[in-house]
Structure 1
C-alpha cells in the first residue's frame, strides 16, 4: 500500500473515531470523496480491503487503523 493511502486511512479512522467513538464502523469508501477522482487509489484500497483481507463491507475503524499501522 502506498504511503499516501496509508496516511489517508489512518487520518480518516482517527477523525471518525473522534467524532463517533471507538465503535464506529466504516467501509473503504470512507477514504474517498463522493466523486471518483483517483480510480487507481480507490482500486488499491478495494484490493487491500476485499481481496487481501476479505473484510466485511463495514468494519470497526479501530480495527482498520490497527491493521494499517501494523503494516498489514
Structure 2
C-alpha cells in the first residue's frame, strides 16, 4: 500500500474512533468520497483489504490501524 493511502486510512480510522468509539466498524469505502474520483487508489485499497488480508466487508477500525501499523 502506498504511503499516501496508508496515511489517509490511518487518519480516517482514528477520526471514526474519535467520533463513534473504539468499537466502530468500517469498510475500505470509508477512505473515499461518495464518488469514484481515484479508481486506481480505490482498487489498491480493495486489493489490500480483500486479497491481501481477506477482511470482511466491515471491520473494527482498531483492527485496521493495527494491520496498517504492522506493515
Fold-level match, TM-score > 0.5? yes
2:39 corresponds to: 39
Q: CA deviation at 1:24?
A: 0.1
RMSD, aligned CA: 0.4
Q: CA deviation at 1:47?
A: 0.2
2:16 corresponds to: 16
2:28 corresponds to: 28
Count of aligned pairs between the two proteins: 71
Q: Where in structure 1 are there 5+ consecutive unaligned residues? A: none
Q: CA deviation at 1:27?
A: 0.2
Q: TM-score, length-normalised on structure 1?
A: 0.97
Q: Where in structure 2 are there 5+ consecutive unaligned residues? A: none
Kindly report structure 1 stretches of 4+ aligned residues shifted beyond 3 Å: none
After superposition, what is the alpha-carbon deviation per residue over 1:22-65, rounded to whole angstroms, capped at 9, x for unaligned?
Answer: 00000000000001000000000000000111100000000001
